[in-house]
Each structure stands twice: as C-alpha cells, then as structure tokens.
C-alpha cells in the first residue's frame, strides 16, 4: 500500500471512529470525556441517530465537568447495573406507543419478556444472571436487527445466545446443557445459518422466540417446526405418527430428527431412524419405509442420469432447453416428494416418483433421438460427398470427351491443338 493510500485509510478510520451526531459539541458534553470507550459504540448506534445520548438513559448532568456534579450528585443519575432498572428505562420508550409510533418497532416486547423464562427469572426472582435488554442488544451499540453488524442479526443470534448458554458454570446452575450452541452450530440448520449466512435458516429465536424466549415443549415441537416446514407438517398430521404423538408414544418431529442437532434428512434415515422404534426389520412399517426409500433413491439416480444426459447433449452442441426445463420440473417433484414421505403413504410417494421417471425417460429418448439424428447427419454428409465427387468426376470426364476434337462453333479453331493455323477447319 502506498503512503498516500495508507494516510487516506487512517483518515477514513479516524473519521469513522469519531463519527458523531450532527450538532454535537464534545466540549460541552462531559460524559464522553471520561467514557471515551463507550462513545464510539453509542455514536454508531441507532439511538445516536435519534439524538438519544448518555443522559437520556443514565440521567445525570452532562453539562457539568465535575465527576460528582455530572453523575452521583446530579438528579436522576442511574448506573443501570441492576437489570430491572435497565428494563424500566428501555421499556419507558419501547413500550410507549406515542414514542414508537414513527418507527416500525412493536411496543409489546416488554410484555413478551415478562412471560419469558428470562423475564420470569429476573422480574419474579430478581435473578441478575437472566438475560435482559442490554445482554442481547449490547448496552450502547444498539443496532437494528437487519444490520449485519447487530448482535440480533439472525446470523449473529447463535453467538449472542452462546454468550450465556455456552457458559458451563452459569448453565449448570439451571440444569441446562452448555453444549447446545455448539450442537446447534454443527447441525444442518446451524451450518446453513452460520456458515452459509442463509437468513432463511432458523436461528435460536426462530424456535424459542426472542423477547418471549421459552423452550417449546414436545407437544409444541410440530407447531414450531411446522412454522417453516408447513407442507411437511400437513402430511405428518395425516400419518399414523401423528396419532402416536397425540397418544404420547412419540415426540412428533423430534423423535426422528432431533431438535438442536437436526441433521440433513436423507434416505438412510428410513433404515436407521425407523429402526429405533420399529425394531423388527421385517415389520410392515420397516418394509414400507424401505420401499419409500428405494423410490427416493431411484428418483435421485434418475435425476442424476438426467443431468448427465443433458450435460452430454449440451457438450455435443445440442439445444436441450426444453428438456432442461422438464428436468427442472422433475426436480421440483423430487423436492415435493420429501414432505409427502411424512404421510407414510407409499402410493403418494410413487405417484410423484413415477412422474420423475417418466420425465427422465423422455429426456433419454430425446437424447437418443439426437444421437440417431447425428448418425443420420453423418450419413448425409457421406452421401453428399459421394454425390459431389461422382458429379465432379462425371463432369471432368464429360469435359475431356467434349474437348477431344472440339472445334469452336464460332471461330472454327480446333481446341487443344493450339498455335497451328493449319488445324483451322474453316480455312
């Protein structure tokens, strides 16, 4: 990096670090003189954008440059170290409809919080370990949840929760496993969210709620999962498993897929997971499971074959856009068949997989047609050459024959004899 660009970078960083609300006079605001570490976080927060500064939450007198006069001795000063006090200060604005009218934020978070596990612990038992607003939103650098730098941005939520829930000494006091964050991080959901930055994947808050955070009971698991997996839940409710869950013999989705450790579902589950309950490998459910799995595997093989056929055809310069579209439709069928498997109805699964097989068969036929057409085209080229060479040879022979003894019809000169007047036939 050149000196000039380094200097520009330093200036830009300095500018960003000392970004402050317009009209703010640092020489007249005593808080930032001592709490310079907090200043940057506060000035980058959403609050600073609303002209909310230190004294709006902490009280005190920021115009006084005397420690006592500005803090302990000033009216209304509060440290907010007691989380209940922090809740009151936050909710004084965030539960006030008049103040929140022009923002898109709801005003019922405090009510949600009151009935959450965290809220009950703090407000009922005065447990200062329970998470309150500043624990999740950070005390000063409060950013909207849509900001990727925010602690409540979906991708960052697991790390935010893990601040407490991965703390084994803290969690042991409540009988909660501290490996939940790491288990979630290695699950299919966790990898999609954390590694893949896929915001459509669930974070902790998607299942547990945020302000009203509470662990869903097993009786509610299907509802929680079904919030996203709507079709799957619809088919599940039609199955024998739904009856077993209602009778308490099964924990709905959790029995097969787990919860924090949800793995990517694949056809092997029909063998391994089913066996957990249906121990007899020749029992009706196991046989049906194997048949469903076999259908899915065959559909996957058919789709892979379709892809290979398309790639082969395209590689040979064949236009297969229509076939590619048909294969795309077959892939949609394959996606659709997964929720259908939760109905445990083989006929329904077969109905969809048969469509996939039929589509791939069509693509196969088309490619075979293309191959046979290619052979035809080569034969056509060969025939063209035979015809062309035959005609050319014939024309040359005809020319040779015509040239033999040819006398020019106008000038009477014998062609091919050249340069001898005696050969002129017209004298």
Partner 1 sequence: MKAWRKAVEFGRSAWRATADYFQRNYDLPQIKRWIDGALYKPVPRHVNWAYSFGMMAMFLFIVQVTTGALLALYYKASAADAYESVKFITNSVRLGWLVHQVHAWSANLMILFVILHMVKTYVTGGFRAPRELTWITGAFLLFVTLAYGFTGYLLPWDQLSYWGTTVGTEITGAIPLVGGYLKTVLRAGEDVNAATLPRFFAIHSMGLLLVMAPLLVAHLLLVRNHGIAPLTPTTEGEPSPEQILRDGGIAFFPHHLLKEAAFVYVLLAVLVTLAVFVPFPLHDKADPFRTPEGIKPEWYYMPAYQLLKYVPKAIGIIGMTVGAVLFIILPFIDRSPERHPRKRKKAMWLGVAVVGVGMLLMLAGYLSESTHTIFGKRMHFDLRGVPHVVVDTVGVDTSGAPAQGGGERE
Q: What are phi and psi of 414, to 5 degrees?
A: -75, 120
User: If you ran DSSP here, which 8-state letter would residue 417 be given?
Assistant: T
d(CA 89, CA 110): 11
User: If you ran DSSP here, which 8-state letter would residue 229 be given?
Assistant: -
Minimum distance, C-beta of residue 326 to partner 1, in the bound complex (Å): 14
For partner 1, which is the closer residue by CB, 63 or 425?
Answer: 425
For partner 1, which is the closer residue by CB, 8 or 391?
Answer: 391
In the three-class reduction of DSSP (H, G, I as helix; E, B as strand; rest coil), residue 139 is classed as coil
Minimum distance, C-beta of residue 220 to partner 1, in the bound complex (Å): 48
d(CA 395, CA 387): 12
DSSP letters spanning 67-126: HHHHTTTSTT-----SHHHHHHHHHHHHT-HHHHTTSS--S-HHHHHHTSHHHIIIIIT-
For partner 1, which is the closer residue by CB, 9 or 388?
Answer: 388
For partner 1, which is the closer residue by CB, 10 or 393?
Answer: 393
Contacts with partner 1 by CB under 8 A lie at 317, 319, 321, 377-378, 380-381, 384-385, 387-389, 391-393, 395-396, 398-399, 402-403, 406, 408-411, 413, 415-416, 418-421
Minimum distance, C-beta of residue 238 to partner 1, in the bound complex (Å): 43
Report whether 211 contacts 109 (CB < 8 A). Answer: yes
Minimum distance, C-beta of residue 412 to partner 1, in the bound complex (Å): 9
Minimum distance, C-beta of residue 40 to partner 1, in the bound complex (Å): 34
d(CA 66, CA 129): 33
Minimum distance, C-beta of residue 393 to partner 1, in the bound complex (Å): 8
For partner 1, which is the closer residue by CB, 9 or 398?
Answer: 398
Please list the residues that pair with 407 across neighbouring strands. 414
For partner 1, which is the closer residue by CB, 304 or 403?
Answer: 403
């Amino acid at each position: 990096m050149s000196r000039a660009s380094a200097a520009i970078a330093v200036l830009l960083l300095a500018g960003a670090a000392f970004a402050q609300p317009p009209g703010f006079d640092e020489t007249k605001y005593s808080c930032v003189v001592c709490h310079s570490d907090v200043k940057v976080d506060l000035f980058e927060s959403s609050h600073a954008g609303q002209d909310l500064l230190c004294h709006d939450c902490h009280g005190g007198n920021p115009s006084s440059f005397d420690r006592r006069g500005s803090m302990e001795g000033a009216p209304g000063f509060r440290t907010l170290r007691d989380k209940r006090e922090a809740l009151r200060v936050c909710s004084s604005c965030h539960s006030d409809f008049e103040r929140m009218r022009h923002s898109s934020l709801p005003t019922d978070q405090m009510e949600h919080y009151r009935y959450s596990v965290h809220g009950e612990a703090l407000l009922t038992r005065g447990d200062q370990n329970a998470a309150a607003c500043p624990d999740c939103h950070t005390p000063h650098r409060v950013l909207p949840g849509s900001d990727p730098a925010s602690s409540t941005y979906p991708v960052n939520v697991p790390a935010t929760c893990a601040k407490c829930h991965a703390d084994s000494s803290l969690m042991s006091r409540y009988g909660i496993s501290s490996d939940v964050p790491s288990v979630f991080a290695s699950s299919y959901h966790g990898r999609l969210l954390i590694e893949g930055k896929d915001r459509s994947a669930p974070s902790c808050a998607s299942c547990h709620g945020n302000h009203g955070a509470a662990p869903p009971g097993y009786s509610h698991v299907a509802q929680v999962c079904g919030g996203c997996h709507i079709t799957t839940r619809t088919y599940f409710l039609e199955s024998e498993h739904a009856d077993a869950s209602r009778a308490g013999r099964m924990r709905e989705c959790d029995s097969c897929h787990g919860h924090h450790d949800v793995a990517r579902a694949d056809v092997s589950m029909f063998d391994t997971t089913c066996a957990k309950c249906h121990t007899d490998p020749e029992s009706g459910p196991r046989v049906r499971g194997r048949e469903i799995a076999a259908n899915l595997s065959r559909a996957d093989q058919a789709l892979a074959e379709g892809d290979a056929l398309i790639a082969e055809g395209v590689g040979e310069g064949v236009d297969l856009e229509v076939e590619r579209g048909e294969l795309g439709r077959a892939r949609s069928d394959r996606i659709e068949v997964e929720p259908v498997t939760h109905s445990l109805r083989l006929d329904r699964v077969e109905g969809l997989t048969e469509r996939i097989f039929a589509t791939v068969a069509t693509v196969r036929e088309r490619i075979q047609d293309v191959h046979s057409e290619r052979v035809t085209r080569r034969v056509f080229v060969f025939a063209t050459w035979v015809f062309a060479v035959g005609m050319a040879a014939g024309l040359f022979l005809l020319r040779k024959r015509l040239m033999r003894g040819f006398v020019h019809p106008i000038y009477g000169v014998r062609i091919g004899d050249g340069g001898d007047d005696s050969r002129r036939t017209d004298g």
